[in-house]
Amino acid sequence: MSDDLSPVAVVGLGRIGLPLAVQYASQGLTVTGCDINADIVAEVAQGRCPYPDEEGLEAALRAAHAAGHLTATTDTREAVSRSKVVVIIVPVGLTPENRADFSALDAAARSVAAGLRPGTLVILETTVPAGTTRSHLGPLLETSGLRIGQEILLAYSPERVFVGRVLADLRKYPKIVGGVDDASLKRAAAFYEKALAAPVLRMANCETAEFVKLAETTYRDVNIALANELARAADQHGVDVVEAIAAANSQPFSHIHQPGMGVGGHCIPVYPYFLLEGAEEARLPRAARQINDGMARYTVERLAGVLGNLSRKTILILGLSYRPNIKEAAYSSTLLVAREMMAAGAHVLVHDPYYSADEMNRLGLEAPPTFPPAHTDALVIQAAHDEYQKLDLASFNGCSVVLDGRNALSKKKVEALGLRYLGIGR
């Protein structure tokens, strides 16, 4: 192992940062995870996993900790001061104006700068607008008194993983890497070749590497928007869009995604706006965002059309998580749909096996006092958790309509219970 690649500091122990730290440690690198959340740091420092729904992470973390390759701290400056590679993976979300919110990145960068030593390689993995690594992060790191391209190496490599299966994805997807100069690229590529089993794809510069992630996530958002437009057209024609899309995708040039009541997560609702920061005239990404966020209102209008109106109706939304079988509510469609329903006068309840009533309340949502509730006029499936696939829908007293916002249930089985089934494009 090259002495230039260890120790490593991973700044940010979130749903992606912690698996990254564990992956690096599993390859024999000495890794310190850094985070401002003292509770998470305490868990990791004791070899315990704060994300039990992340496949394979608990066992891998325990092994890395037992081998002495992984520890954690809240003192980022100190960890950086004894590291030769620093990987920054902290959240960059959106401001109310849909611009990149750099507050967490800036705070992390200042802590990193305070501990930098000559020769350190800094890699940013957080998805950011093109140009951020060189023009935004670089000057913050130079507050250390060290110069980028002289005493400090700087590179960008976007995370390309799916929460819930991060470790598996790290072994599978090619690692995109770009540097501010050739020396930074060479060292960053060598680091990932040691730390990962996946192939490393070297980009011409860090801007190209940044753009790759924006392109692939915007593609998905635009594709989902097309599927949602097809679903709305299918509703008008009495066509099952799921059947139609499956048939269309039997043609090898067709790769249509699936429609739904909205798009959630840290990535797809956010990163197209990062692309637009450098290309405001791009029309398709902006239209896709409007279409996909507009599915919340469309969903509510469909339900209101069947119930007559939503005033004083009790609606139970199943699933706060933005996708099945994980605890992650970032930009969840439930937040938009609940707001639309409340504006229409509905009494909205939200259930999710991964969230407590207090966690719901902190998001402005109300959990049912019992499950099933005493009375429900309609059910809305927002996250198709495995638990919801097994529900006895007949046990929901008063329920007459099931709106399947993820097209996850059997229409025949729902209707066999005497309930009205509504899907998205079905």
Q: What is the pLDDT of residues 383-423, one digit of tens each?
A: 999 999 889 999 999 999 999 999 999 999 999 999 999 99
Q: Hey, do 3-204 and 230-423 end up sharing a CATH topology, with the first three levels equal?
A: yes
For residue 55, is pLDDT > 70? yes
Plot region of 119 (φ>0 → left; ψ -120 to 50 → alpha; else → beta): left
For the cut 90, the answer to whether the pLDDT of residue 125 exceeds it is: yes
Residue 38 pLDDT exceeds 80? yes
Q: Which residues of 174-210 are buried (b: 16+ CB within 10 A; e: fewer)?
A: ebbbbbbbeebbebbbbbbebbbebebbbbebbbebb
Average pLDDT, the chain: 96
Kindly list the domain boundaries of the chain, sorted by start residue.
3-204, 230-423
Which residue type is seen at 19?
A: P
Question: Predicted confidence band at 143 (pLDDT cuts at 50, 70, 90)?
Answer: very high
Tell me the three state secondary structure of residue 262. coil
pLDDT given for residue 1 in this prediction: 37
Pick from 175, 202, 171: which is nearest to 186 by CA?
202
Report how far apart, in Å, the C-alpha atoms of 24 and of each of 79, 84, 160, 219 are: 16, 13, 16, 30
Residue 378 has pLDDT above 90, yes or no: yes
The one-character DSSP state at 181 is S
Question: Which of 32, 266, 24, 275 is closest to 161 using CA atoms?
Answer: 266
230-423 is classed CATH 3.40.50.720: yes
Residue of 137, 132, 84 whose CA lies nearest to 113: 137
Contact criterion met (CB below 8 Å) for 406 and 383 = yes
Residue-wise pLDDT for 315-327, tens only, equals 999 999 999 999 9
**CATH node for 3-204:** 3.40.50.720
Say if pTM beats, i.e. exceeds, 0.85.
yes
Closest CA to 233 of 223, 247, 244, 221: 244
Distance CA 14, CA 163 (A): 10
CA atoms within 13 A on the CB side of 10: 29
pLDDT digits (tens, 9 = 90+) for 195-219: 998 999 999 999 999 999 999 999 9
Q: At 120, list the tokens.
A: 């350190």
Directed axis angle between helix 206-237 and helix 283-307, to 10°? 30
Task: Report the catalytic residues.
Answer: 213, 267
* DSSP-assigned states of every residue in 196-259: -SS-EEE-SSHHHHHHHHHHHHHHHHHHHHHHHHHHHHHHHHT--HHHHHHHHTTSTT------
In one letter, which amino acid is 21? A
* Residue 352 pLDDT exceeds 60: yes
Tokens coding 401: 């309509």
